């Protein structure tokens, strides 16, 4: 990367505090495809000059997949360990690169002693656009391009965030097309509830195929995502349908970074 | 006089029997664990008024919304007429509210229009279920009783409305013939269309009028007592169910206090946990669920909106959120019957998990909340699925192998995959 990503430990050593902590998440840290999104979120933060930091190797799984799978012990062990780290650094505001981390830290950490202002990266982008700090200029033009947005369950239905990611796309002057099932009626990509980590039960179709068929029916050039797990499922779907050349699946952060030439 | 005595006995017996059975349902619901839903009374009231009274979540599907609205309004408004019927029945009067004059005529006229609307809507509902065979009303859980239950309800409503209209028609004819006791009262915009069907004999007319009057009121008390056995119980339980529904963000799962104590004690040996009742983690049977889960089960009217939007169900998996609710109610009923027959401590060796709901079903859930969003009365099938998973994982350590592998990775590496925590920050390296 062209710049150094600051860690909390470094800031602490320098006696400084960040405005916002970027919670990267496991997928954003390890999954090759999601790492690109992570770096783009950092590029956006760097570009607008927001003082941020990450936990680096001090970050650990929020416990979300354990909780959805029914292992409350493991979830609370992870949660309390993370809360100890976050509180020790006096964290006030967190932006996450993943709706699952977002939901868990925002809704399930307060009861265990961790209360922070938590936003998803699409909300950060919306805020930056509203404040005039971020535009869509200096990079790739999405003008007139057909984009359809897939609502992640834990961002949309789970927490009622429907407008922020759409706002981030509207600023591109692109042609936004909605799938038949969108917003509150959005269809899951198939990865939630710890499904990401197991084979699906016996059925006649995979959920991501059902979803990708609906997405492709809008004849988009881009499918926009806001979740690393949706990203995997949608990408797999596009590959299976042999549409990799015509349709690209990109995260809201990647689209924003591209439009700004970051 | 004999008729009046029979009538009073009918009202008393009908009401008492309903109270007896309703108390049993309440007892069964209370078999569930405690859950605090007494917070935010104002927001709860607003939710109930909007979702149950105002039917806001029905509007998503306009055709059934309009048909259901007619039946709902008919049910609420025509029941004003029952008040008059009860007073007439007890005191041997006829159309005791006739003194209201123009207002009375307006009311009776409106009831007739609504009754015709209800009749038509129920007929269309029957066609949708039995002729058009909408997919939403089929599925493995919609065989035998649930299928008949729906048809019984619709046919009963059609019969009740037919009796009401035929009674009015006979009454109207008797009024025009100037028969004593049948004073001039009411307006009959619909039932006058039926006059041609009626005979001219006064005695036969009186018989028809009386027969329909009795059929209608006996039918109403019969229907009332059918409710506790039927999916139709939603006409009452929808109100408390929405009042006590989950107000938190849908993505939020409950934190288990019992686990918090143990985890705190593990992380900090000096921590002394508050006294909590010992119990199992998660749910194996209905007593391990909360009373809200069980109220949900009794409220479910099996409309299938949840199942029709479930990503697992629509891709051919076994999971059906509607079945989760129906199984929970069936098992609760079974446990209740065991208590009645064998006493409170009886164990029948069965449980909700495995005897009713299979592991394959609970593991197919993506926790996407499409089912809770779709439910017109805020039922939460996901809450039950999560409790069953908690039991399987925490009490039995039984989960799909890949889930166990994932849990092991989270525990050992702080990530669901087998990567070293030391590599967690590699994404930011210079060469990337």
Average pLDDT, chain B: 94
CB count within 10 Å of CB B398 equals 11
Q: What mean pLDDT comes out for the span A177-205?
A: 95
CATH topology of domain A8-126: Rossmann fold (3.40.50)
List CB contacts (< 8 A) between A107 and chain B. 248-249, 251-252
In this prediction, residues B69-92 reach a mean pLDDT of 90
Q: Is the CB of B427 less than 8 angstroms away from the CB of A111?
A: no
If you measure CA to CA, which chain B residue comes closest to A106?
A: B252
Residue B21 sits at φ, ψ, to 5 deg, of: -70, -35
Which SS3 state, helix, strand or coil, does residue A178 take?
coil
Mean pLDDT within B101-109: 91
Residue from B120, B129, B192, B182 nearest B157 by CA: B120
Extents of the domains making up chain A? 8-126, 135-259
Same topology between domain A8-126 and domain A135-259: yes
Q: Who among A38, A103, A207 is closest to B315 (CB)? A: A207
Q: Considering only CB atoms, which chain A residues are within 8 Å of B315? A: 200, 203-207, 209-210
Calculate what percentage of chain A has a pLDDT beyond 70. 100
Nearest residue, CB atoms, A108 vs list B253, B263, B282? B253
Distance of CA A108 to the CA centre of its chain: 18
Q: What percentage of chain B reaches a pLDDT higher than 70?
A: 98
Question: Would the CB atoms of A38 and B427 count as touching at under 8 Å?
Answer: yes
Q: H or E element: which one contains A120?
A: strand A117-120
Pairing of strands A117-120, A93-96: parallel
Q: What are the tokens at A239? A: 């590959």
| Chain A residues lying within 8 Å of B264, measured CB to CB | 80
| Average pLDDT of the segment spanning A57-77 | 97
Which residues 232-291 of B have a C-beta within 8 angstroms of A?
248-253, 255-256, 259-260, 262-264, 266-267, 281-282
pLDDT at B186: 85
d(CA A147, CA B192): 60
Percent of all residues in chain B with a pLDDT value above 90, rounded to a whole number? 85
Would you list the DSSP string of B319-367? --HHHHHHHHHHHHHHHHHHHHHH-TT---S--HHHHTB-HHHHHT---
What value of ipTM does the predicted structure carry?
0.96
**Digit-coded pLDDT (tens) for B223-282:** 999 999 999 999 999 999 999 999 999 999 999 998 998 888 888 878 777 666 667 899
User: Residue B275 has what pLDDT?
Assistant: 66
Pick from B311, B399, B430 the residue to mutate for testing the A interface (most A CBs within 10 Å): B311
B396 touches chain A (CB under 8 A): no
Under 8 Å between Cβ of B374 and B348:
no
Domain A135-259 class?
alpha beta
Contact between residue A4 and residue A39 where contact means Cβ atoms under 8 Å apart: no
Q: Which two tokens stand for residue B407?
A: 């849990």
Q: Do B255 and A191 touch (CB under 8 A)?
A: no
Lowest mean pLDDT among A212-226, B5-19, B261-275: B261-275
B373 contacts A157? CB cut-off 8 A: yes
pLDDT score, position B269: 79
CB A186 within 8 A of CB A157: yes
Nearest CA of chain A to the CA of B432: how many Å?
A: 5
pLDDT value of position A239? 97
Contacts with A88 from chain B: Cβ below 8 Å: none
Task: Give the side-chain half-sphere CA count within 13 A for B27.
Answer: 15
**Shortest Cα distance, chain B CAs vs residue A131, angstroms:** 27
DSSP state of A147: E
Task: Give me the residues paired with residue A53 across strands.
Answer: A21
User: Closest approach of chain B CAs to the CA of A156, in angstroms?
Assistant: 9
DSSP A53: E
Q: Give the highest mean pLDDT range of A157-166, B188-197, B262-271, B274-283.
A: A157-166
Would you put residue B286 in left (φ > 0), alpha (ψ -120 to 50) or beta? Answer: alpha
The DSSP code for B64 is H
CA distance B214 to B211: 5
B353: pLDDT strictly greater than 60: yes
Average pLDDT of the segment spanning A77-94? 97
Chain B contact set for A233 (CB, 8 A)? none
Q: Is B207 left (phi over 0), alpha (psi -120 to 50) or beta?
A: alpha
Q: Which residues of B touch A205 (CB under 8 A)?
A: 315-316
The average confidence (pLDDT) of chain A is 96
Nearest CA in chain B to A108: B252
Nearest CA of chain A to the CA of B268: how many Å? 11
The torsion angle over the Cα atoms of residues A9, A14, A20 and A23, rounded to 10 degrees, is -10
Q: What is the pLDDT of residue B278?
A: 64
- CB contacts of B266 in chain A (<8 Å) are 77
> d(Cα A72, Cα A80) in Å, to the nearest integer?
12
Q: Closest partner residue to B402 among A24, A60, A198, by Cβ?
A: A198
Task: Please check whether residue B120 touches A, CB under 8 A.
Answer: no
List chain B domain ranges.
Answer: 2-30+61-243, 257-421
Q: Which of A148, A124, A58 is nearest to B424 (CA)?
A: A58
Instruction: Measure CB to CB from residue B428 to each of A1, A154, A209 and give the nearest one.
Output: A1
Which residues of chain A have a CB within 8 Å of the CB of B252? 103, 107-108, 158
Which pLDDT score, from 0 to 100, does residue A48 have?
A: 96
pLDDT score at B277? 62
Does residue A182 carry a pLDDT above 90? yes
Residues 48-67 of B with CB under 8 A from A: 60
Task: State the pLDDT confidence band at A101, using cuts at 50, 70 and 90.
Answer: very high
Interchain pair A158, B250: CB under 8 A: yes
Is 70 exceeded by the pLDDT of residue B130?
Answer: yes
> Which ranges of A145-202 does DSSP label H, i.e. alpha helix?
163-170
Q: Is the pLDDT of residue A2 over 90?
A: no
Put simply, the answer to whether A205 touches B315 (Cβ < 8 Å) is yes
Cβ-contact B377, B238 below 8 angstroms? yes
With contact defined as beta carbons under 8 Å apart, do B361 and B323 qualify? yes
What does the alpha-carbon distance between residue B131 and residue B136 come to, in Å, rounded to a whole number?
13
Q: Report the side by side order of strands in the sheet with A175-176.
A: A175-176, A146-149, A222-225, A248-251
Cβ proximity of B231 and B24 under 8 Å? no
B315/A204 touch (CB, cutoff 8 Å), yes or no: yes
- From CA B323, how far away is CA B139, in angstroms rounded? 9
Asked if the Cβ–Cβ distance from A61 to B400 is below 8 Å, we say no
CA A232 – CA B13 distance, rounded (Å): 63
Beta carbons of A197 and B402 less than 8 Å apart: yes
Work out whether the CA dihedral B401, B403, B406, B412 comes out positive or negative: negative
- pLDDT given for residue B276 in this prediction: 63
Instruction: Please check whether residue B395 touches A, CB under 8 A.
Output: no
CATH for the stretch B257-421? 1.10.1060
Burial class (CB in 10 A: 0-12, 13-18, 19+), B306: buried
């Amino acid at each position: 990367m062209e710049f150094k990503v600051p860690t909390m430990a470094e800031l602490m050593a320098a006696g400084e505090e960040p405005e916002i902590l970027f919670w990267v998440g496991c997928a954003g840290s390890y999954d090759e495809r999601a790492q690109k999104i992570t770096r783009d979120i950092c590029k956006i933060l760097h570009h607008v000059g927001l003082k941020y930091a990450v936990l680096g190797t001090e970050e650990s799984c929020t416990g979300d997949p354990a909780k959805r799978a029914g292992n409350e012990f493991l979830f609370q062990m992870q949660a309390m360990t993370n809360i100890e780290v976050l509180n020790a650094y006096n964290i006030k505001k967190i932006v996450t690169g993943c709706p699952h981390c977002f939901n868990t830290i925002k809704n399930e950490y307060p009861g265990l002693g961790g209360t922070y202002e938590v936003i998803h990266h699409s909300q950060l982008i919306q805020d930056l656009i509203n404040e005039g700090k971020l535009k869509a200029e200096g990079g790739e033009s999405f003008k007139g391009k057909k984009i359809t947005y897939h609502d992640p369950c834990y961002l949309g239905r789970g927490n009622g965030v429907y407008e922020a990611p759409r706002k981030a796309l509207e600023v591109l002057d692109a042609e936004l097309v909605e799938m038949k099932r969108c917003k509150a009626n959005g269809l899951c990509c198939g990865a939630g509830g710890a499904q990401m980590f197991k084979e699906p039960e016996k059925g006649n179709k995979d959920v991501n195929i059902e979803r990708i068929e609906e997405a492709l029916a809008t004849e988009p050039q881009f499918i926009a995502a806001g979740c690393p797990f949706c990203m995997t499922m949608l990408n797999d779907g596009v590959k299976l349908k042999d549409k990799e050349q015509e349709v690209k699946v990109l995260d809201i952060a990647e689209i924003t970074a591209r439009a700004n030439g970051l | 006089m004999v008729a009046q005595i029979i009538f009073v006995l009918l009202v008393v017996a009908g009401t008492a029997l309903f109270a007896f059975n309703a108390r049993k349902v309440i007892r069964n619901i209370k078999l569930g664990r405690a859950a605090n839903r007494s917070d935010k009374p104002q927001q709860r009231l607003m939710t109930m008024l909007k979702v149950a009274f105002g039917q806001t979540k029905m509007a998503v599907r306009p055709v059934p919304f309009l048909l259901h609205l007619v039946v709902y309004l008919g049910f609420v408004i025509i029941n004003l007429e029952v008040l008059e019927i009860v007073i007439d029945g007890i005191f041997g009067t006829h159309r005791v509210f006739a003194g209201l004059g123009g207002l009375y005529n307006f009311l009776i006229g409106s009831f007739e229009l609504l009754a015709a609307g209800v009749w038509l809507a129920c007929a269309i509902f029957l066609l949708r279920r039995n002729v058009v065979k909408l997919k939403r009303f089929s599925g493995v859980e919609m065989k035998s009783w649930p299928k008949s239950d729906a048809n019984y309800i619709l046919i009963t409503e059609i019969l009740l409305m037919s009796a009401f209209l035929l009674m009015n028609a006979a009454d109207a004819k008797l009024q025009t013939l100037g028969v004593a006791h049948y004073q001039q009262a009411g307006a009959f915009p619909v039932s006058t269309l039926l006059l041609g069907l009626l005979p001219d004999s006064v005695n036969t007319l009186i018989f028809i009028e009386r027969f329909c009057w009795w059929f209608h009121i006996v039918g109403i008390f019969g229907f009332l007592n059918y409710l506790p056995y039927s999916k139709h119980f939603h006409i009452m339980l929808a109100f408390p169910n929405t009042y006590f529904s989950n107000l938190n963000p849908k993505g939020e799962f409950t934190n288990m206090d019992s686990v918090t104590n143990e985890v705190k004690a593990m992380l900090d040996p000096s921590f002394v946990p508050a006294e909590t009742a010992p119990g199992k983690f998660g749910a194996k049977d209905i007593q391990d669920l909360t009373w809200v889960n069980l109220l949900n089960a009794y409220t479910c009217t099996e409309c299938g909106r949840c199942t029709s939007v479930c990503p697992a169900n629509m891709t051919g998996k076994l999971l059906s959120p509607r079945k989760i609710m129906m199984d929970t109610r069936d098992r609760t009923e079974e446990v209740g019957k065991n208590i009645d027959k064998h006493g409170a401590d009886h164990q029948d060796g069965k449980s909700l998990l495995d005897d009713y709901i299979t592991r394959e079903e609970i593991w197919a859930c993506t926790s996407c909340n499409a089912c809770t969003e779709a439910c017109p009365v805020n039922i939460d099938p996901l809450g039950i699925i999560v409790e069953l998973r908690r039991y399987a994982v925490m009490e039995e350590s039984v989960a799909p192998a890949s889930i166990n592998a994932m849990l092991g990775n989270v525990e050992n590496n702080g990530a669901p995959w087998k990567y070293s925590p030391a590599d967690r920050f590699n994404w930011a390296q210079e060469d990337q």
